[in-house]
Amino acid sequence: MEEKLSYRNTVRLFAGEKCFGPGVAELLRRVRELHSLRAAAMSMNMAYSKAWTIVKSSERILGVQLLHTSVGGRSGGDADSGGRAAARRLRGLLREADRLRRDSFRRDLCLLRHADGGEAGMIYNILAVGDVVGACGVKHLSRCLRSLKKRKSIHFTVVNGENAAMVGLTPNDAEDIFAAGADVITLGNHTFGKMEIGRMLDETPWLLRPANLSGRMPGHGCEIFDLNGLRFRVVNLIGRCTLQWNAENPFTLADQLLKQGTADFTLVDFHAEATSEKLALGYYLDGRVSALWGTHTHVPTADERVYPKGTGYITDLGMTGPIESVLGVEPAQSVESFLGGLPGRYRNPEGPCKLQGAIFTLDSATGLCTAVERVDIR
């Protein structure tokens, strides 16, 4: 007889005697995105009157104005600055609470497996998301990431965000990507495309820049994240072939970083141009890291695999951004540049977007990978 274990739980936050579920945060997020309470309610199949009641009740509890309205307007209110901040904070708290709940369940399941005489190792699904390109890429990530994580039972998520502002990312972009569901944000050759990110790189553990850039630059490129006793080491490196020639050798630096601290899993985002350099680093670290993926080219490769000694690998994840584009850039602008026209600031085209990346299935008994699956959400 086949045995199945069903588990269901709901995470809520309490403010005094009042509680907030994920629906409140989602409503505020959609108001912010659609600039209309009415449109947000419709997108959630919710009556406008109910949405209005939820917002007003939340305002009374939190003591913060969540919406601003205009007389005679038909949109039903847009998100106020207080509402945007409250929504971001609420989503972050709910995400952390949900992660604690899932970690608790995994520990209980591990005990059950021990009691049944099964293997001690647990299976963990790690999602790596390709370069987020422009404002439309950030919005698409916000729309798709949480549902993808739920559908694929993702335990830990790394997102490359170096193109969120087309060239670089701003602190607001980083906060939006983190609020969308990323556990870690990695960067690349455009790390300092927006110089205002410098201070955040020094102060934020979940925001990494390539470790082999000059030590005089702000930020760090390796961090160990503790999820209730399970430790994930995330390493961000940049390639030197035709990309960052003055960076430190990523091969020898990886050796040094792997000796710092202890971790159950080690994940490497290698932001590089040359396929040969990515493949070579994969073989060099095979059996010593759980997964290594390439970023930077914005084009997904069809070579996902597990190396002979157990390291999950893919040459490039692809990108998160507009489908009809040249690597996320308006096609007409790109064509004009190849025809010899004047350069200009990169522009995102309008239209539907895609989220590309890969899921690495890892075994805690070995710290290595058992499977790799490409992801393309449109």
Express each pLDDT in 319-337 by its tens digit.
999 999 999 999 999 999 9
The reported pLDDT for the residue numbered 254 is 98
Q: Which residue has the higher pLDDT, 280 or 80?
A: 280
The reported pLDDT for the residue numbered 150 is 96
What is residue 29's three-state secondary structure? helix
Q: Which residue has the higher pLDDT, 84 or 148?
A: 148
The reported pLDDT for the residue numbered 113 is 47
Taking only the tens place, the pLDDT of each residue in 249-271 is: 999 999 999 999 999 999 999 99
Query: Which domains are seen in the chain, by residue range?
Result: 1-117 (1.10.10.10), 121-377 (3.60.21.10)
pLDDT band of 77, cuts 50, 70, 90: low
Mean pLDDT of the chain, nearest integer: 85
The reported pLDDT for the residue numbered 280 is 98
Q: How many CB atoms lie within 10 A of CB 44?
A: 14
**Residue 205, pLDDT above cutoff 80:** yes
Residues 66-72: what's their mean pLDDT? 62
pLDDT band of 202, cuts 50, 70, 90: very high
CA pair distance 363, 64, nearest whole angstrom: 45
The reported pLDDT for the residue numbered 114 is 45
The reported pLDDT for the residue numbered 197 is 97
Q: Which residue has the higher pLDDT, 101 or 8?
A: 101
What is residue 55's three-state secondary structure? helix
Q: Which residue has the higher pLDDT, 96 or 302?
A: 302
**Residue 119, pLDDT above cutoff 70:** no
Look at the pTM and tell me if it is higher than 0.85.
no
CA atoms within 13 A on the CB side of 53: 5
pLDDT band of 41, cuts 50, 70, 90: confident
* Residue from 276, 299, 303, 288 nearest 372 by CA: 303
The reported pLDDT for the residue numbered 111 is 46
Residues 155-165: what's their mean pLDDT? 97
* Residue from 261, 260, 270 nearest 291 by CA: 270
Give catalytic residues, as residue numbers.
Answer: 190
Residues 7-22: what's their mean pLDDT? 51
**Residue 57, pLDDT above cutoff 80:** no
